[in-house]
Amino acid sequence: AQTVTQSQPEMSVQEAETVTLSCTYDTSESDYYLFWYKQPPSRQMILVIRQEAYKQQNATENRFSVNFQKAAKSFSLKISDSQLGDAAMYFCAYRSRAQGGSEKLVFGKGTKLTVNP
């Protein structure tokens, strides 16, 4: 079974600074997807960024980028120029791409990010 670990229960960053959230995962599969979701206090689950395991290039979405290290099974999220609206819980998630594999998302326990003005 796949597992996702987020070792930082809480992180804080100054507005306009950069912060990196860590995520590691365990799987025996070679083909999968990784995602970061954001959950603000409003409770919505918002997709931030996604990465295909077969792609070596790290995904980027505006101020959000990932550092995907497949051999190390690591998938960290970097937020540049942090804004007050970035304050939220961030969840790392895994999904199989294997033929016949489950489409379910396996989530980490989350990291609560505080942005200080």
Partner 1 sequence: DAGVIQSPRHEVTEMGQEVTLRCKPISGHNSLFWYRQTMMRGLELLIYFNNNVPIDDSGMPEDRFSAKMPNASFSTLKIQPSEPRDSAVYFCASSTPGRGNQPQHFGDGTRLSIL
By CB under 8 A, name the binding residues for partner 1. Answer: 33, 35, 37, 42-45, 47, 50, 52, 91, 97, 99, 102-110
Q: What is the DSSP string of 54-88?
A: T--SPPEETTEEEEEETTTTEEEEEE-S--GGG-E
Identity of the residue numbered 93:
A
- Residue 58 Cβ, how far from partner 1 at the closest point, in Å? 15
Identify whether the C-beta of residue 13 lies closer than 8 Å to the C-beta of residue 116: yes
Residue 47 or 84: which CB sits closer to partner 1?
A: 47
Residue 21 or 82: which CB sits closer to partner 1?
A: 21
Residue 28 or 42: which CB sits closer to partner 1?
A: 42
